Amino acid sequence: SVSFMNNQKQQKPTLSGQRFKTRKRDEKERFDPTQFQDCIIQGLTETGTDLEAVAKFLDASGAKLDYRRYAETLFDILVAGGMLAPGGTLADDMMRTDVCVFAAQEDLETMQAFAQVFNKLIRRYKYLEKGFEDEVKKLLLFLKGFSESERNKLAMLTGVLLANGTLNASILNSLYNENLVKEGVSAAFAVKLFKSWINEKDINAVAASLRKVSMDNRLMELFPANKQSVEHFTKYFTEAGLKELSEYVRNQQTIGARKELQKELQEQMSRGDPFKDIILYVKEEMKKNNIPEQIVIGIVWSSVMSTVEWNKKEELVAEQAIKHLKQYSPLLAAFTTQGQSELTLLLKIQEYCYDNIHFMKAFQKIVVLFYKAEVLSEEPILKWYKDAHVAKGKSVFLEQMKKFVEWLKNAEEESESEAEEGD
């Protein structure tokens, strides 16, 4: 056996083993999709449009035909009825079949049935997964070469395949092709695609799939640059009957704008930019992105609180907080011009003092400071005390506020009676 082993070793470089011969022969075999196409089309002609029979035929043929090598041809036939020339037209001199997506009826039920054919085929021959993804990316780039009805069928089919996981949402990249976008082909195709996708699942499942491949913030790119606004997107998709998608994109945009605002605010504060510049910037962002003041005051509060290394000692942190917040009062006051914003701020302070345990005793001091600095007025404070507080630490905080609230009520009564005397 030793000499046999040596023998094997020496033989290796000469490539004389049987194994290598067959590999060489494989390489010589001409790439001939026409012959492959003829076999598939002939088989489909025999099965006719019974899709159960089609699925069985494709399953069996995989054992005899080279699916791995001719994946593109196989999928071209199943979608378009024959091999596609670049651009999406059927090659003229080729055989074709009517047992394909493009020749089928244009309705969701038929496309769901076709989706099953692809699904079964790819589950059976797992290696076709990548080839199928490439095929769909290619077909999307060819959309202009197809008729409107063919596009609609392809869109419905793609939606179903995205829903059942046969396809990955990264294929949508093809729709951002400049020419398709410019001519409005991408947006129209997306309408049909998302309708069938949402119909199979729901908007939350669609959102999760988009997020997975970082497509959740790119949907606006279905439109040319001069139309990439939330307004245009929501109008277009709502009119097309996809209100859920419009709302999803609007929310995404809002969340993005708020995150961006918070990030920029923190940078401006750590640089020590003048408050008037910061206020101007925030007001422009509010207008541009339609962010209401009560959302902004929450962002400003958390930005102000995150610019400091807080002392871990309870007795020292209150003093540190008052000093810090006194400095930032003018900035906070710029965004508490409405009672609702003042209430929001009170709730944010309550939650903050509860979540950061060494701030528990500082709550009343912060509120009094903000009252004196005219960040907060008495009405929202009284409303918070009466019924607008949250459960977090409420017994502690209400107890802390008791005296101040009584003082506020008395002050209010006094000023009312003074006003009456003045009349």
Q: Which of 58, 63, 55 is nearest to 40 (CA)?
A: 58
pLDDT for 173:
95
Token pair of 150 as six digits: 């063919």
In the block, tokens 């993005």 appear at: 256
Final residue of a domain: which of 161, 191, 215?
215
Q: How many residues does the chain have?
A: 423
Residue 382 within any structural domain of the chain:
yes
Per DSSP, the residues of 11-69 read HGGGT-SHHHHHHHHHHHS---HHHHHHHHHHHHHHHTT-HHHHHHHHHHHHHHS-TTT
Q: How far is Cα 65 from Cα 63, in angstroms, rounded to an integer?
A: 6
The token duo for 230 is 């939330």
| Distance, CA of 150 to CA of 145 (rounded, Å) | 10
Radius of gyration, alpha carbons of the chain: 34
Same domain assignment for residues 174 and 41: yes
Task: List phi, psi (to 5°) of 133.
Answer: -60, -45
Residues in the chain with pLDDT < 50? 1-12, 14-22, 24-25
Residue 238 lies in a domain: no
211 and 359 in a common domain? no
Note whether residue 97 is domain-resident: yes
Domain assignment of residue 388, given as a range: 309-413
Total domains in the fold of the chain: 2
Same domain, 50 and 182: yes
| 24: in domain | no
Q: Is residue 316 part of a domain?
A: yes
Single residue among 215, 234, 255 that ends a domain in this structure: 215
Report helix angle 71-80 to 128-141, nearest 10.
50
Task: With respect to residue 116, please indicate whether it lies within any of the assigned structural domains.
Answer: yes
The answer as to whether 81 is a domain residue is: yes
Q: Check whether residue 43 and residue 173 sit in a common domain.
A: yes
Residue 339: which CATH number?
1.25.40.180
CA distance 403 to 418: 22
- Judgement on whether residues 211 and 313 belong to the same structural domain of the protein: no
Does 140 reside within a domain?
Answer: yes
Q: In angstroms, rounded to a whole number, what is the distance separating the alpha carbons of residues 249 and 242?
A: 11
Q: How far is CA 21 from the centre of its chain?
A: 52
DSSP three-state, residue 96 = coil
Same domain, 57 and 169: yes
Residues 45 and 162 in one domain: yes
**Final residue in a domain of this structure, among 215, 241, 260:** 215
Q: What is the pLDDT of residues 168-224, one digit of tens each?
A: 999 999 999 999 999 999 999 999 999 999 999 999 999 999 999 999 889 999 999
* 314 & 197 share domain: no
How far is residue 305's CA from residue 347's CA, in Å, rounded to a whole number? 15
- Report the largest interatomic distance among the alpha carbons of the chain, rounded to a whole angstrom: 122
Look at residue 92 in the predicted model and tell me its pLDDT: 67
Judge if 50 and 196 occupy the same domain: yes
